[in-house]
């Protein structure tokens, strides 16, 4: 499985449905954020968007009117919700033709929290059919946001998610690790603990810790010791300091957390780690927060050859995800 910063042929998205559950009563308010996201992606690479039908495509096109459309393609692949990182395909690079393959992990909407997910569950195979690619079926539930790879054989994940009994109660840690090795081509599996408060995925790694090169990670740190995120994030940081990749300690770049964001009494899982790395741009979720600038500085240092685009995600995060959750990269081969 290639790293996200390696060259992309395209980025895949699933356009949200007005009647979906991700943006209750806020669909229209989130459209400017989605437009800014697509605009930033189009600076960098082609964009493929899954839609449910012609009317849905027309709605998406209206929201994106005025953007260059020569690299924008719509596909009739219906989805329940827009989180393509989790329901979309995991692409693998291969030595033989075709040079790409797709892994279609089972999907149950984050432990059965948000039925129905019947359309989302078959998205990887539908995309494979469109692209004419072979598909592998590991017979294990896994979301793309729960894993992070360095493209050189190492994978980061969390116990809070992958070992949660609402995913694969029939598999133990060793069996899960073996399937990750077998189907993603990784050798080293690095485990962190729990995720951030408000994360309904049970602790996805893409809100916590991300590889920025083969030996370096950024990881979110909570500075307020009274915040519920302080202890789990400190525990993850301590683990990272003890982990090695290829026999060498990780280089660690601390990334701040935004201040607490609540809506209707719920804490939302706002995290600067939920950025997306395109070919020439990096989409950074921001929150009109004093820590926005520090996060931008850290990520511009980590990715000096890319333009970091800060985009206000205060409406998007009401759906409990940001840019990494919405995107899925297709590697260039």
DSSP sequence for 187-253: SEEEEE----TT-TTS--GGGTEEESSSSEEEEEE---TTSTTHHHHHHHHHHHHH-EETTEEPEEE
Q: What is the pLDDT of residue 298?
A: 99
Q: Which two tokens stand for residue 105?
A: 């992990």
Q: What is the pLDDT of residue 24?
A: 84
CB neighbour list of residue 175: distance below 8 Å, 6 or more residues apart: none
Q: What is the mean pLDDT of each run of 10 residues along the chain (333 residues)?
A: 98 98 95 99 98 98 96 98 99 95 98 98 98 98 99 98 98 98 98 98 99 99 98 98 97 99 96 99 99 99 98 98 99 94
Dist. CA 100–CA 9, nearest whole Å:
11
Active-site residue among 52, 161, 313, 325?
325
Which alpha helices (H) appear in 132-166, and where do they start and end? 159-162
Dist. CA 206–CA 217, nearest whole Å:
12
Q: What is the pLDDT of residue 158?
A: 99
In contact, 22 and 319? CB cutoff 8 Å: yes
Residue 73 phi/psi, 5-degree rounding, is -130, 135
Q: What is the pLDDT of residue 175?
A: 98
52 as an active site residue: the answer is: no
CATH topology of domain 8-331: 3.75.10
In contact, 156 and 147? CB cutoff 8 Å: yes
Q: What is the pLDDT of residue 58?
A: 98
Give the number of other Cβ atoms within 10 Å of residue 282's Cβ.
Answer: 23
Dist. CA 316–CA 323, nearest whole Å:
9
Whose CA is closest to 8, among 284, 302, 328, 279? 279
Structural domain boundaries of the chain? 8-331
Tell me the residue ranges of DSSP E strands in 46-124.
47-51, 72-76, 90-93, 100-103
């Amino acid at each position: 499985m290639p790293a996200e910063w390696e060259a992309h042929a395209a980025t895949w998205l699933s356009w949200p449905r007005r009647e979906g559950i991700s943006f209750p009563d806020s669909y229209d308010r989130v459209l400017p954020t989605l437009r800014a996201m697509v605009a930033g992606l189009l600076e960098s690479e082609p964009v493929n968007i899954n839609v449910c039908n012609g009317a849905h495509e027309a709605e998406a096109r209206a929201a994106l009117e005025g953007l260059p459309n020569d690299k924008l393609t719509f596909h009739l692949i219906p989805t329940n919700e827009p989180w393509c990182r989790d329901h979309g395909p995991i692409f693998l690079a291969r030595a033989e033709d075709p040079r790409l393959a797709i892994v279609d992990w089972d999907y149950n909407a984050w432990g059965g929290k948000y039925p129905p997910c019947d359309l989302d569950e078959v998205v990887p195979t539908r995309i494979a059919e469109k692209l004419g690619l072979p598909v592998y079926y590991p017979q294990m539930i896994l979301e793309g946001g729960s894993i992070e790879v360095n493209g050189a054989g190492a994978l980061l994940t969390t116990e809070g998610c992958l070992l949660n009994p609402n995913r694969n109660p029939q598999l133990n840690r060793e069996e899960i690790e073996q399937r990750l090795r077998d189907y993603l081509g990784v050798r080293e599996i690095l485990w962190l603990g729990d995720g951030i408060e408000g994360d309904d995925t049970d602790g996805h790694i893409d809100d916590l810790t991300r590889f920025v090169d083969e030996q370096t990670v950024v990881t979110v740190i909570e500075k307020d010791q009274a915040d519920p995120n302080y202890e789990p994030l400190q525990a993850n940081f301590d683990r990272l300091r003890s982990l090695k990749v290829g026999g060498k300690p990780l280089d660690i770049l601390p990334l701040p957390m935004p201040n607490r964001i609540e809506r209707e009494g719920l804490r939302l899982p706002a995290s600067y780690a939920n950025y997306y790395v395109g070919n020439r741009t990096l989409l950074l979720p921001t929150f009109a927060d004093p820590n926005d600038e520090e996060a931008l500085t850290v990520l511009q240092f980590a990715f000096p050859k890319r333009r970091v685009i800060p985009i206000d995600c205060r409406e998007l995060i009401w759906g409990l995800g940001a840019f990494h959750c919405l995107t899925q990269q297709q590697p260039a081969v």
